[in-house]
């Protein structure tokens, strides 16, 4: 059963990577700390997909050939609630650093701080999660009594982070 689940997850990751690729091709860019690295990767795939060595410049590769170029990156994809983790380099994974397990072979998605991890990207599908988180924090902040300033400051910094991520997502999507 685990093998079957693994196969289904691999197919899902290929589909999601293809969707993110299509978004990139249509000008819908990701946001987040890992966005530049992902866009650089897509730019290299775009360059490779344009033509093969010895091939005429106007001959494009098939979708399957492009998917073959994307497949390695798809194998690194791990889904978070509010981000995609492209777990390429364990030494850069913030979750592993925070947990003190730098030798792990998979991310600790439950410990992900997607706003700071250099391998995390945010996409339009993640916007509702960040927006709901920001709205919840606004409600909590408004209900905090005067004697709980430390909690108010902590929640305000988290709200500021959520609002920053929303601003980055909107900017990447071309929204004001």
pLDDT digits (tens, 9 = 90+) for 67-107: 999 999 999 999 988 999 999 999 999 999 999 998 899 99
Say what the pTM is: 0.85
- What's the whole-number average pLDDT of the chain? 90
Residues 155 and 163: their CA atoms lie apart, in Å, by 12
Q: How is residue 31 written in tokens?
A: 């946001």
Tokens of 136: 């919840």
Q: Tokens at residue 96, please?
A: 């592993």
Give the pLDDT band (50/70/90) at residue 119.
very high
> How many angstroms separate the CA atoms of 33 and 115, rounded?
7
Radius of gyration of the chain (CA): 19
Average pLDDT over residues 116-141: 96
């Amino acid at each position: 059963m685990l093998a079957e689940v693994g196969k289904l997850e691999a197919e899902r990751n290929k589909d999601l990577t293809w969707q993110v690729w299509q978004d990139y091709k249509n000008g819908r860019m990701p946001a987040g700390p890992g966005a530049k690295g992902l866009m650089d990767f897509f730019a290299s795939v775009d360059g490779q997909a344009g033509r093969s060595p010895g091939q005429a410049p106007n001959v494009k590769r098939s979708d399957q050939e492009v998917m073959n170029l994307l497949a390695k990156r798809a194998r690194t994809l791990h889904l978070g609630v509010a981000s995609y983790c492209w777990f390429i380099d364990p030494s850069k994974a913030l979750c592993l650093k925070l947990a003190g397990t730098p030798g792990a072979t998979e991310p600790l998605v439950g410990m992900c701080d997607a706003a700071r991890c250099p391998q995390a990207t945010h996409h339009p599908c993640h916007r509702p999660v960040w927006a709901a988180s920001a709205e919840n924090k606004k409600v909590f902040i408004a209900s905090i009594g005067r004697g709980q300033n430390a909690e108010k400051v902590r929640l305000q910094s988290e709200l500021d982070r959520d609002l920053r991520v929303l601003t980055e997502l909107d900017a990447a999507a071309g929204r004001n």
